[in-house]
């Protein structure tokens, strides 16, 4: 005969802070794999309001990331899961392919190393092309050589986030919008959270707060040696028939001396083509405009911010110049598609990237997840976090301690 303890199953109550694509994927995974009762707390009035909703829409194949890193593994796992998920829910997903283009002989060694890294990460179909072959794929592009990733895709990440929110509800959970987290503490074996005008008690709490990570981490008493530093990414979009000059994705060869990729051309799922982004240090965590200085004290008060700025000040000045002068964007785009001119580019909405910066000024490259008591904190989830979101969710579900029954 089963004991009373065996007959009495306790349902875990797990809170998730943040209704971006990562937070919603985590909530869905915990509800599916653990049967937990999950509540997602989101300060905005809609899901995917920040990084998810200001995303270029690229499903990264795993070309750039160091073999063996969490990014490399979760990106490759995430691509497969995301493709399957989009197919299951009739969400748009298109393998338009990516060209990483070398514009000079000096870039060839780095391009070859990139191809080798991509193969080490298991990226399928990687091909090294000469100047003629690259034009067969992108007839209006120029370069001396390229690496082609034919299975790099585009999708609609906000639509994925909305579908994940429906999944959470269908699994018995809830997504509570307009519920900013105001306080939290661990007490009597629970994590008590004040969000909006309500108080919640959870067995575990997972924080996927993106740009708001530091604020929630402080509430949890988790300072640590990294902080979020926001970088605004600004875009232009191609007008009219200029969009026909780009079939898929055209990217530069990454320069390891600089922290960001640089301007590239990105076809979107709606048929538009973006040019960008740059990477300008923002003075607010939601600093979508130059005029927003709402968090300047916190951002500049972190020692890592000034150390980073000293190390990359030349790049920083170049990025600011590109932000203020349209011709800088045009020149960057023309390196790859010479037919483009100033009249072909118009301003488009940008976004803000939550980038973790260490105390010594180093930009944290890999995904970082910390555990503090009953609170799990996603401290760094930059690109390719959207691509990797379903795999990140599985990874985190393996970290969240199970409730002792």
Q: For 293-346, write each residue's pLDDT tens digit.
A: 999 999 999 999 999 999 998 888 888 988 989 999 999 999 999 999 999 999
Same domain, 256 and 234: yes
- Residue 137 and residue 166 share a domain: no
CATH number at residue 393: 3.50.50.60
Distance between CA atoms of 62 and 261, rounded to whole angstroms?
A: 14
Q: Final residue of a domain: which of 150, 168, 186?
A: 150
CB-CB contact of 304 with 360 (8 Å): yes
Domain check: are 250 and 290 in the same one?
yes
Same domain, 205 and 231: no
The pLDDT confidence band at residue 7, using thresholds 50, 70 and 90, is very low
Q: Are residues 352 and 250 in the same domain?
A: yes
Q: Is residue 203 pLDDT above 70, yes or no?
A: yes
Residue 74: inside a domain, yes or no? no
Give a yes or no: residue 178 inside a domain.
Answer: yes
Map tokens 């040019």 to a residue.
275
Per-residue pLDDT for 260 more than 90?
Answer: no
Same domain, 231 and 338: yes
Using CA atoms, how far apart are residues 399 and 69, in angstroms rounded to an integer? 17
Q: Are residues 123 and 170 in the same domain?
A: no
Q: Residue 256's pLDDT band (boundaries 50, 70, 90)?
A: confident
Examine residue 72 and state whether it is found in any structural domain, yes or no: no
Query: Residue 294 domain-assigned?
Result: yes
Give the Cα separation of 97 and 156 in Å (integer).
16
Q: How many distinct structural domains can be found in the chain? A: 3
DSSP β-bridge partners for residue 101: 146, 252
> Is 149 within 8 Å of 63 (Cβ atoms)?
yes
Report if residue 75 sits inside a domain.
no
Domain holding 113, by residue range, is: 98-150
Residue 1: pLDDT band by 50, 70, 90 thresholds? very low
Task: Say what percent of the chain tops pLDDT 70.
Answer: 96
Pairwise CA distance, residues 97 & 114, whole Å? 16
Q: Considering the entire predicted model, what is its pTM?
A: 0.94
Residue 69 has pLDDT above 80, yes or no: yes
| Residue at 130 is within a domain | yes
């Amino acid at each position: 005969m089963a004991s009373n303890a065996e007959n009495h199953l306790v349902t875990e109550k797990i809170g998730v802070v943040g209704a971006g694509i990562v937070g919603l994927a985590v909530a869905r995974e915990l509800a599916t794999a653990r049967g937990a009762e999950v509540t997602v707390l989101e300060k905005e009035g809609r899901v995917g309001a920040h990084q998810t909703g200001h995303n270029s829409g690229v499903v990264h194949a795993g070309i750039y990331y160091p073999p063996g890193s969490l990014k490399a593994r979760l990106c490759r796992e995430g691509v497969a899961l995301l493709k399957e998920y989009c197919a299951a829910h009739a969400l748009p997903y298109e393998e338009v392919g990516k060209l990483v283009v070398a514009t000079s002989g000096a870039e060839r060694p780095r391009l070859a190393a990139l191809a080798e890294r991509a193969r080490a990460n298991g990226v399928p179909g990687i091909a090294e092309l000469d100047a003629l072959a690259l034009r067969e794929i992108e007839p209006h592009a120029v370069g001396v050589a390229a690496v082609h990733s034919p299975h790099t895709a585009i999708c609609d990440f906000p639509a994925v986030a909305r579908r994940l929110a429906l999944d959470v509800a269908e699994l018995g959970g809830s997504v509570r919008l307009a519920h900013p987290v105001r306080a939290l503490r661990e007490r009597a074996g629970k994590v008590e959270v004040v969000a909006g005008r309500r108080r919640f008690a959870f067995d575990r709490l997972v924080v996927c707060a993106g740009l708001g990570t530091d604020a929630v981490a402080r509430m949890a008493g988790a300072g640590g040696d990294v902080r979020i530093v926001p970088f605004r990414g600004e875009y232009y979009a191609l007008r009219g028939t200029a969009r026909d000059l780009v079939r898929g994705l055209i990217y530069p060869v990454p320069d390891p001396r600089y922290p960001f990729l640089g301007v590239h051309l990105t076809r979107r799922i709606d048929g538009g083509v973006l040019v960008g982004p740059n990477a300008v240090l923002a003075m607010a965590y939601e600093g979508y405009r130059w005029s927003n200085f709402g968090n300047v004290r916190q951002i500049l008060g972190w020692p890592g911010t000034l150390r980073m700025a000293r190390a990359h000040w030349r790049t920083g000045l170049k990025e600011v110049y590109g932000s203020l002068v349209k011709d800088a964007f045009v020149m960057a785009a023309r390196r790859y598609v010479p037919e483009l001119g100033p009249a072909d580019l118009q301003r488009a909405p940008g976004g803000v990237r939550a980038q973790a910066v260490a105390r010594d000024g180093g930009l944290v490259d890999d995904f970082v997840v910390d555990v503090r008591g009953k609170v799990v904190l996603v401290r760094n989830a930059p690109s390719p976090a959207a691509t990797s979101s379903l795999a990140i969710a599985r990874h985190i579900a393996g970290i969240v301690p199970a409730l002792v029954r």
